[in-house]
Structure 1
């Protein structure tokens, strides 16, 4: 995991044409936390399933999940219904996290790929098992930005080739695969995307967060429960001409029981109180007074707690 000190930052993007809630830009704050450097992989999720043998994912329970049309045979396209949530996707019977394209598929050569066909509840269950949790929208975006302010990508404002797994060509009939992949890719297939050393924040798979998602122009009371997904996926594009535009601030919403072949997740972990106090104490071993008013000064005691200096009252009864 990567430790991030947190703090104030600007989230969103100055693009009024955005249709996903990433506009406008506003100030936000996150506390110190740890975040996974990579999305959770098939190998990691398999270990969870081997331990929690009775746990059934959403796809296993309902016996189907959403698969991209390019991975289906003509017979499958005629047999299964189209997914109403994503164009070009079908609800294929027998699809699960370890059978990502149906009964005859497997993940034996994809153990380092991000696990997919995972619902919000499935991701939450895994995080709880490892003693972590899902990130909020703000925590995810803070980590993705890598300390940069109001930039489109984790590495800056200019698009760079071979930095993420996205769609190239006409959708869905032509995938030129300039990045080398027509499906998910290993989580370390591309270089770290920012100075925090974060991998796969953009592209490959969307990632669950715990933040509820609402459309901007619709009364929230009338909207169904959905959670925010961040990062874009292998079917999305750099310019948004097909599906969604892939950039740091972008987000979409899905119901907590939804799963598909382009949705995964990563975990975060809070800093313990003991570690927080230790870091505070280490940073204040040689404190310097901080002027906060013209006649008042601050200092820190041996426990790292701020204290105001008491001023002597000349002529008081104690001195008399």
Structure 2
């Protein structure tokens, strides 16, 4: 795990390199989609953390004007808006729906929600080591799941921010928010979107927080290179937002 890349960002937790052994495992080809999460909610009668609390964080550029004007914002990340009614069913709050996004990752799910889905499905969350092994797709010390170039031959391979963050996204990769969970070519192990699109919960603790991997559609090299394979971050287990989802794993 980790990287020897001279350009690594220490703030993004990419080093040091360490040897880790993982037992054989299976991991989802893609993140859990709205279709799959809806089946769980209907069958289990489950209510997510965001639904219980009545709000979640939504990226400013996706928030309707009437909600944006009065939204509360974290002072250290003013591009996030606290939006009443934002949930996995209503990703931008208000009248927003997942109707045209059933194949997109389920978002606004906290760590407890992800664990509940996994238990219902007879699966589990991947460990951080499993996640990185899978994300590398058989490549050794590559920056990204497909190699060392972010846009090989000028082709975008993941859903991240292009342009000037957070005010002008040129959407060269085709998306402002989430993309379908099987967008872009898979890596060498046949796994989709192991970089960008949505952050993915892992099973590991990091202090009192839980590890997240993969980066999201809001990652931009001006402040966050965490769409790189070795990068890592963390969040409180009861946190959720419009760029946070998960995929499942199981023992082989």
TM-score normalised over the length of structure 2? 0.94
Partner of 2:26: 34
Q: Structure 1 runs of 4+ off > 6 angstroms?
A: none
Contact 2:12 2:232 in 1 (8 A): yes
Q: Which residue of 2 aligns with 1:44?
A: 36
Task: Give 2:227's aligned residue.
Answer: 246
> Alignment partner of 2:93: what SS?
coil
Which of 170, 173, 184 pairs up with 2:178? Answer: 184
Query: Structure 2 vs 1, CA of residues 197 and 254 (structure 1 numbering), >3 Å: closer, same or farther?
Result: same
Give 1:12's aligned residue: 2
Q: Give unpaired runs (5+ residues) of structure 2.
A: none
Segments of structure 1 that go 5 or more residues without pairing to the other structure are: 1-10, 215-224, 272-320
Is the 8 Å Cα contact of residues 118 and 264 (structure 1) preserved in structure 2? yes
Give 1:212's match in structure 2, choosing from 181, 200, 205: 205
Aligned positions of 1:1-320 closer than 5 A: 11-14=1-4, 15=6, 17-53=9-45, 55-83=46-74, 86-160=77-151, 161-192=155-186, 194-214=187-207, 225-237=208-220, 240-271=221-252
What is the CA-CA distance between 1:76 and the residue it aligns to? 1.7
Counterpart secondary structure, 1:211: strand
Count of aligned pairs between the two proteins:
247
SS in 1 for 2:51: helix
- Asked if the contact 1:207–1:264 (Cα under 8 Å) also holds between the matched residues in 2, the reply is yes
CA-atom RMSD, angstroms?
1.4
The one-character-per-residue Cα deviations of 1:171-211 (angstroms, maximum 9, x if unpaired) are 1111101111111000122111x211111110100000011
Distance in 1, matches of 2:205 and 2:76, equals 18
Tell me the equivalent position of 1:293: none
When the two structures are superposed, what TM-score results if normalisation uses the length of structure 1?
A: 0.74
Per-residue CA shift, 1:234-292, capped at 9, x if unaligned? 0102xx21434421011111000000000000000112xxxxxxxxxxxxxxxxxxxxx
Residue 12 of structure 2 contacts residue 224 of structure 2 at CA under 8 Å; is this kept in 1? no
